[in-house]
A = this chain, B = another copy of it.
Amino acid sequence: MIETPYLLFLGDAPDQLSAKVAQGIKDWRPENSVGQLSLPGCGTDVGLKEMTLAEAKEAGAKTLVIGVANRGGIISQAWKEVLIEAIEMGYDLASGLHNLLRDEGDLVAAAQVNGTTLHDVRVPTVGYPIANGIKRTGKRCLAVGTDCSAGKMYTALAMDKVMQERGLKSTFRATGQTGILITGHGVPLDAVVADFMAGAVEYLTPDNDEDHWDMIEGQGSLFHVSYSGVTMALVHGGQPDALILCHEPTRKHMRGLPTFTPPTLETLRDTALPLAQVGNPNCKVVGISVNTQHMSEDEANAYLKETEERMGLPTVDPYRHGAERLVDALAAI
């Protein structure tokens, strides 16, 4: 559990894309951040108030979150001065970089002296159990994709937001670095040891009120040969009651796999649903989330309409049009 509120460290991020972790926190949990901190030369801005470490501390910030991914995921020397100063002022640090905070001797030493915590969200800190498959109370929704990076995290966050707005019981359950930094907790599933993957998902989505929904962040794809095992652990460990199919229609090949063609939505449905029903016989496919970012408004609307008619399921781009109809579909379960 990472203590909030945060101060978001943008460092010397060259562009908007490199600050996507900070942007995600700002977009989805604006209440979790008091401000942002940039270094000279920073080429981006997530729209929060620029603050010094002292100003943010005064405003209540508990954790300095590294909200930027630089080339190679390393912790640059240019950042070190600020990070150590933050530790000395009592900040915890949180990072999702490949280069772990705990591998930097000067940060570790400073944290020990000042009694603060270094959170490397890529590294599991819990001894997860082996999954037992026992049916849990409450309900769970999982987004599954025809490919990686098809909008699964965005879909789960957008649905959770609508649920909250409607006063329904919902919790976004993070399974990746960005999601964990956004919400302050979760399971870094791709870093969990194989035997414990499904158990980690069970741990993440425990018994709950009968009318509570866990909106589980998906990972990988059942059709992506590099990561399908991680997806499978979510499909079985998550015991989903509802699946949302996620698709990016303009993709020519599977991400990082030039010779692999993405499956159709029909194939995804016919593959994912029977597998999910092994863990939860009542699971249903309830809706489709399409990432239309590379389509014009007209193209997007035509594609969504055609897909909805063909598949017989509510079909939306939650970024363009909101996730309301997907949440409506959940209510019917």
Q: Chain A residues in contact with chain B, CB under 8 A?
A: 130-135, 189-195, 197-199, 222-223, 225-233, 235-237, 256-257, 259-260, 263, 271, 274-275, 278-279
| A226 touching B259 in the complex, CB below 8 Å, given contacts A191-B194, A233-B194 | no
Contact in complex: A194, B195 (CB < 8 Å): no
Most buried by B among A231, A260, A275, A279: A275
Residues of the B chain whose Cβ atoms lie less than 8 Å from the Cβ of A230: 194-195, 229
Complex: how many Å from CA A231 to CA B256? 22
Assembled-state Cα–Cα distance A194/B176 (Å): 12
In the bound complex, do residue B222 and residue A198 qualify as a contact, i.e. CB atoms below 8 Å apart?
no
Q: What would 10 A/B residue contacts be, using CB atoms closer than 8 Å?
A: A132-B256, A133-B225, A191-B193, A192-B194, A199-B226, A225-B237, A225-B278, A228-B236, A231-B232, A271-B275
- Report Cα–Cα, A135/B258, bound state, in Å: 12
Partner of A194, one of B130, B190, B236, B260: B190
For the complex of A and B, the 5 pairs showing the least CB-CB separation, nearest first, are A229-B233, A225-B236, A232-B232, A229-B229, A190-B195
A140 → chain B closest CB, angstroms: 14
Taking a contact as CB atoms under 8 Å apart, the answer to whether A223 and B133 are in contact is no
Closest to A263 in B: B278
In the docked arrangement, what's the CA distance between A303 and B8, Å?
Answer: 65
Do residues B195 and A227 form an inter-chain contact, with CB atoms below 8 A? yes
Chain B residues near A191: list those with CB within 8 A. 193-195
Cβ A226 vs Cβ B132 within 8 A: yes
Residues of B within 8 A of A231 (CB): 229, 232
Given the complex of chains A and B, what is the CA–CA distance between A192 and B40 in angstroms?
A: 41
- A265 to chain B minimum Cβ distance, whole angstroms, is 15
Q: Which residues of B contact A259 (CB under 8 A)?
A: 133-135
User: Measured between C-beta atoms, what is the minimum distance from A282 to chain B in Å?
Assistant: 14
Tell me if A198 and B223 are in contact (CB < 8 A): no
Inter-chain contacts of A193 with B (CB < 8 A): 190-194
Nearest Cβ distance between residue A165 and chain B, in whole angstroms?
A: 33
| With A194-B197, A197-B194: A229-B225 Cβ-Cβ less than 8 Å | no
Contact of A228 with B232 in the complex, beta carbons under 8 Å: yes
Query: Which residues from chain B contact A199 at a C-beta distance below 8 Å?
Result: 226
Q: A130 — which chain B residues lie within 8 A by C-beta?
A: 226
